């Protein structure tokens, strides 16, 4: 550990060079917080709902609940004798699969969540089917007017250029055949599934691979009369006499619209909230470099209103696919979460890593259906979640230390979150705009002081403080 300078000496230095406040926002915001209960079974989620509520989450996102591919002889490992991504390979759009549970178990989970005031949202994936087309349920073929009508004309040709909107919205991705989502028979069949999910008690959806389903402005597949899938499933128009069962405004819906140079973000934003994938990359870059100035955290790196962005430090894709974030320590992810959830804008999503996982063993206990590790209810995570609820509509004010090792998220004038990215203890004196006086950390109960507009403290390495005046 480096030598700690005296408080007075360091204060004098930092007061001369302290960075100005980075941003101010004052628009109304929500207090939603999503827990992605990744690969947890319905029964596991139901059993842990009291802990989830206690930890401050308002929404639980499930993994896909549709009938899915049974591979590796029905093995239930995350990776090995079984695969987590098998439930991303639909064989039919009906509720229940061998990995997560039955329709009755899903409904029981939703009932309990409703009782506790938690919303369940379901990961849905109408864009594609199982890779092995022999496994598609005959009921699905029949419902869409035969196998020849299930896929786009281009649906079995692999996408070569993801920035070509015709290829992106009609082509096969990673071997997954692209469904003809513009076929009214498919829309009717899929909407029955959506309405059944709602009838069981769910109150929202996460649309997987949303950018691969065309907008009205996108090129049409030869089999399509119009690109109206989103209008149908968002309740703007009926299909064959069937409409979305609940008003759109009662549902929480967002799409996985991974950002790229030719993605019409504003077009998708007309229908749903969207993932802030670029912001996640920027935040991880800052965390990995232990420096708030390593990238631009002020910009949301999106064309849409940040109030309609789903933010994360990591997602199941960044953890599992090429392990882009899996090497980051739980401690580092935790600091990133405290930053995200304490901000005024965005709707933060906490990805629950596998139980028993380490940075050497990403799959941990390697069991589908099991609860994730304890990070979702870590005392600091819970305190940060509670801070978000307490600070609804309080304006945000971001401040960085001169060297970028500390971030302060001020909310209003009597509360703030202080994050120390430094791997060493740090003595700091940072100009702030919150009121002078004494502050207390919600977790450690440690007291801090702001005097003459300067926050002065000794901060433990790699931790955060949730401060109230």
pLDDT of residue 30: 80
The pLDDT tens digits of the residues spanning 277-335 come to 999 999 999 999 999 999 999 999 999 999 999 999 999 999 999 899 999 999 999 99
Closest by CA to 11, choosing from 453, 466, 344, 467, is 453
From the candidates 67, 231, 256, 295, give the one annotated as an active-site residue. 256
Q: Please indicate, yes or no, whether residues 244 and 217 belong to a single structural domain of this protein.
A: yes
Residues 59 and 191 placed together within one structural domain of the fold: yes
208 classed as catalytic: yes
Residue ranges of alpha helices (H) inside 55-182 are: 103-116, 138-143, 165-170
Which pLDDT belongs to residue 433? 97
Our count of domains for the chain comes to 2
Two tokens, residue 379: 């005392």
Residue 40: its pLDDT value, please?
Answer: 98
Q: Are 382 and 54 in contact (CB under 8 A)?
A: yes
pLDDT band at 250 (very low <50, low <70, confident <90, very high): very high
Answer yes or no: 330 catalytic: no
Domain presence at residue 2? no
Torsion angle (degrees, nearest 10) of CA 271, 348, 375, 410: 180
Regarding whether 433 and 382 lie in a shared domain, the answer is no
- Are 422 and 287 part of one and the same domain? no
pLDDT > 70? residue 2: no
The answer to whether residue 14 scores a pLDDT higher than 80 is no
Q: Could you tell me if 343 and 443 lie in one domain?
A: no
Mean pLDDT taken over the chain:
93
- Reported as a pLDDT band with limits 50, 70 and 90, residue 65 is very high
Which residues span the domain enclosing 409?
7-22+398-468
Confidence of residue 28 (pLDDT cuts 50, 70, 90): low
Residues 305 and 278 grouped into a single domain:
yes
Q: pTM of the full predicted structure?
A: 0.93
Whether 219 and 77 map to the same domain: the answer is: yes
Q: Supply the CATH number for residue 43's domain.
A: 3.20.20.80
Residue 354, C-beta contacts closer than 8 angstroms, at least 6 positions apart: 39, 78, 362, 363, 364, 365, 366, 370, 372, 373
CATH of the domain at 426: 2.60.40.1180
Q: Are residues 33 and 178 in the same domain?
A: yes
Selecting among 22, 208, 273, 410, the annotated active-site residue is 208
| Whether pLDDT at 23 is above 90 | no
pLDDT of residue 25: 44
| Domain assignment of residue 1, yes or no | no
Average pLDDT over residues 236-265: 96
């Amino acid at each position: 550990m480096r030598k700690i300078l005296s408080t007075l000496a360091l204060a004098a230095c930092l007061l001369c060079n302290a960075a100005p406040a980075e941003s101010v926002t004052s628009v109304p915001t929500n207090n939603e917080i999503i827990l992605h209960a990744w690969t947890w079974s319905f029964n596991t989620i139901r059993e842990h709902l009291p802990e989830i509520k206690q930890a401050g989450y308002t929404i639980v996102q499930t993994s896909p609940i549709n009938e899915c591919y049974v591979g590796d002889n029905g093995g239930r490992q995350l990776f090995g004798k079984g695969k987590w991504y098998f439930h991303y390979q639909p064989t039919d759009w009906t509720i229940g699969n061998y990995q997560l549970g039955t329709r009755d178990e899903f409904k029981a989970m939703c009932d309990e969540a409703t009782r506790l005031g938690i919303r369940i949202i379901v990961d849905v994936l109408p864009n594609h089917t199982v890779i092995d087309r022999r496994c598609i349920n005959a009921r699905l073929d029949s419902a869409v007017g035969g196998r020849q009508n299930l896929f786009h004309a281009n649906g079995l040709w692999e996408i070569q250029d993801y920035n070509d909107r015709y290829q992106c919205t009609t082509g096969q991705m990673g071997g997954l055949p692209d469904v003809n989502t513009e076929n009214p028979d498919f829309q009717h069949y899929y909407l029955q599934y959506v309405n059944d999910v709602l009838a069981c008690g769910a109150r929202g959806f996460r649309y997987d691979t949303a950018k691969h389903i065309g907008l009205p402005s996108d090129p049409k597949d030869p089999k399509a009369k119009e690109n109206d899938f989103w209008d149908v499933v968002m309740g703007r128009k009926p299909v064959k006499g069937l409409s979305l069962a609940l008003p759109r405004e009662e549902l929480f819906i967002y799409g996985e619209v991974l950002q790229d140079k030719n993605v019409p973000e504003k077009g998708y934003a007309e229908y749903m909230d969207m993932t802030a994938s670029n912001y996640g990359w920027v935040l991880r870059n800052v965390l990995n470099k232990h420096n708030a100035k390593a990238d631009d955290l002020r910009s949301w790196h999106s064309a849409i209103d940040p109030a309609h962005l789903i933010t994360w430090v990591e997602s199941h894709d960044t953890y599992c696919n090429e392990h882009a974030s899996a090497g980051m320590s739980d401690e580092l992810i935790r600091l990133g979460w405290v930053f995200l959830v304490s901000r005024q804008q965005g709707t933060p999503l906490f990805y629950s890593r596998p139980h028993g996982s380490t940075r050497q063993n990403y799959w941990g206990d390697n069991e589908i259906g099991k609860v994730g590790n304890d990070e979702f209810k870590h005392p600091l995570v819970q305190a940060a979640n509670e801070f978000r609820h307490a600070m609804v509509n309080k304006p945000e004010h971001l401040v960085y230390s001169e060297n970028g090792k500390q971030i302060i998220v001020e909310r209003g004038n009597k509360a703030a979150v202080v994050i120390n990215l430094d791997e060493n203890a740090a003595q700091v004196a940072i100009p702030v705009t919150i009121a002078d006086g004494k502050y207390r950390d919600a977790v450690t109960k440690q007291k801090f002081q702001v005097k003459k507009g300067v926050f002065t403290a000794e901060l433990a390495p790699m931790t955060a403080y949730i401060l109230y005046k």
